[in-house]
Structure 1
């Protein structure tokens, strides 16, 4: 996307998001993207901090009933929150998801074996947006936070503490994560140049 396109998209995303949040069909499954930036997925409601601040329960209550959302998708959002903020945002997701619904969350992977990757994504790292990163998650930290809230955790893609990469099947229609093993162009030729820690967290 060119700079001009990003500027136009930025000007349009708030009214588009607000329109979606206030006109969605409550009789159909409710799928929501948080921190959607410039991503648009058919069948999903898109939100950003301008329309739904994850940390404000009043923002959630403005648009949704508790126990009403089927899926929440967050790609590279939680690393911009402090650990305390992250837990609060997880709590709000849990409150507003239906029983059996789930949050698909993707963040930079702190156990990635490539030192250049770690330097790119760590708080204060060299990558775009890393100056605002607050925490570098691994599957253990993220799973612990989610389970503390009450979620049942299913890791989808992650490096473990021994440098082994794990990849379990997941469907893009349940939440597209572009920065993933199969969908990021940096992973061509069998090399995992850029992956994410991806977890599905289910509300019981």
Structure 2
């Protein structure tokens, strides 16, 4: 996306999000992207902090009933929250998801074995937006946060503590993660340059 396109998209982002949040068909499955930035996915409601603050239950209540959302997608959002804020945001997601509903969350992977990657994504790192990163998750840390709230956790893509990469099958229709093994253009010829820790969490 060019700079001009981003500027136009930024100007349209909030009214588009607010329109979607207030006019969606409640008789159909409710799929929502949080922290959507410039992403637009067909069949999904898009939100950002200007329209729905993850930490404010009152914001959720403006648009959704408890136990009503089928899927929530968050790509590179939770690393911008402190651990305490992250737990609260997970709790709000749990409250508003249906039983069996899915939260798909992706963040930079703290067990990635490559020093250049860690320097790029760590809090205060060299990467775009890393100056606002509050925490560097690994699959164990994030899984623990989610399980404490009541989620059933299924890691999808992640490095383990030995630096080995794991990848389980996942369907982009359940939530597209662009910064992933198969969908990031930086990954070429079988070489993984940029991946994310991706976890599916299901409400019991």
TM-score, normalised via structure 1 length = 1.00
Matches within 5 A, 1:4-43: 4-43=4-43
- Structure-1 residue corresponding to 2:113: 113
CA distance in 2, matches of 1:43, 1:184: 22
Stretch of structure 1 that moved more, 2-11 or 96-105: 2-11
CA distance in 2, matches of 1:94, 1:8: 33
Deviations 1:104-149 (A, max 9, x none): 0000000001110000000000000000000000000000000011
- Structure-2 residue corresponding to 1:131: 131
CA distance in 1, matches of 2:163, 2:130: 23
Deviation at 1:10, TM superposition (A): 0.4
Deviations 1:58-86 (A, max 9, x none): 00000000000000000000000000000
1:192 aligns with 2:198: no
Deviation at 1:3, TM superposition (A): 1.0
Deviation at 1:25, TM superposition (A): 0.2
CA distance in 1, matches of 2:170, 2:148: 24
Question: SS at 1:188's partner residue?
Answer: coil
Deviations 1:20-76 (A, max 9, x none): 000000000000000000000000000000000000000000000000000000000
Matches within 5 A, 1:149-168: 149-168=149-168
Question: SS at 1:72's partner residue?
Answer: strand
Question: SS at 1:186's partner residue?
Answer: coil
Question: SS at 1:127's partner residue?
Answer: coil
Q: How many residues align?
A: 204
CA distance in 2, matches of 1:66, 1:38: 27
Deviations 1:174-200 (A, max 9, x none): 000000000001111111100000000
Matches within 5 A, 1:63-142: 63-142=63-142
Deviating above 2 A after TM superposition, structure 1's stretches of 4 or more consecutive aligned residues are none
CA distance in 1, matches of 2:191, 2:111: 16
Question: SS at 2:74's partner residue?
Answer: strand
- Structure-2 residue corresponding to 1:175: 175
Question: SS at 2:20's partner residue?
Answer: helix
5+ residue gaps, structure 2, are: none
